Amino acid sequence: MSYHHILVAVDLTEECDPVIHRARELSVSSGAKLSLVHIVEPMAMAFGGDVPMDLSQLQQQQFDQARERLDRLIHKYPELTKEYSHLTYGQPRQEIHHLAKEQACDLIVVGSHGRHGLALLLGSTANDVLHGAPCDVLAVHLAKR
């Protein structure tokens, strides 16, 4: 099966390199366009929504830092371009699914630690993305931290 547009969801850590490498291989072998996405989760979500202070300045700093890391990643991999890189706020699952539909992607590539037990029950971004995805999902196994 040949893919036409691959969306690579990254967390902007060093661990995303194997995910990008695998997506690049698939892109080259199928001639697919390659897009990149990173989702910045709203800080209020980490605190359950009830935060007694204004986090907007911290959130903007987090977004700016993510933009810098995304730009470095694009510079590191010539196959990636600013035109096809996306940085947005929100819940990763929803935003990745939305972007995959909007961009007519036929494959989403994410990293997975292959967790077991309690960590598996609590879920992961890769697991979340898999459920309800509008296209195929490839979970690239990452080494344990």
Q: Note the pLDDT tens digit of each residue in 57-99.
A: 888 899 999 999 999 999 999 889 999 999 999 998 999 999 9
State how far the alpha carbon of 112 is from the alpha carbons of 17, 56, 71, 129, in Å.
Answer: 12, 30, 23, 11
Q: Quote the CA–CA distance of 44 and 18 in Å, as a whole number.
A: 30
Residue 45, pLDDT > 80, answer no
**φ, ψ at 26 (rounded to 5°):** -65, -40
Token duo for residue 112: 């997975």
Q: Give the pLDDT band (50/70/90) at residue 122.
A: very low
**Is 70 in contact with 85 (CB distance < 8 Å)?**
yes
Q: Quote the CA–CA distance of 109 and 20 in Å, as a whole number.
A: 8
Q: Note the pLDDT tens digit of each residue in 103-115.
A: 999 999 998 865 5
Domains and CATH numbers, the chain: 3-139 (3.40.50.620)
